């Protein structure tokens, strides 16, 4: 049994979809900096539980 869950989010720079592994026990409510798998730009990722499931909020690092 895997402790992580695979999800996708859209890069705010190049608009392509990226994969991310989410550990629901530790990642929810945490902000992370990840690099886009296509354009290599830094993305601020915030994972929240909105009551209906997990929500991935991806913003530009320079915003």
- Residues 44-60 have pLDDT tens digits of 999 999 888 889 999 99
Tens of pLDDT, residue by residue over 19-31, are 999 998 888 899 9
DSSP string spanning the chain?
--S-EEEEEE-TTT--EEEEEE-TTTTTT-EEEEE-TTT--EEEEEEEE-SSSEEEEEEETT-
Higher pLDDT, 63 or 54: 54
pTM to 2 decimal places: 0.82
- pLDDT recorded at residue 63: 67
pLDDT averaged over every residue in the chain: 91
- pLDDT recorded at residue 53: 87
């Amino acid at each position: 049994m895997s402790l992580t869950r695979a999800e996708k989010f859209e890069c705010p720079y190049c608009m392509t979809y990226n994969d991310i592994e989410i550990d629901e026990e530790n990642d929810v409510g945490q902000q992370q900096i990840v690099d886009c798998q296509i354009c290599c730009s830094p993305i601020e990722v915030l994972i929240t539980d909105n009551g209906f499931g997990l929500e991935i909020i991806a913003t530009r690092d320079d915003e």
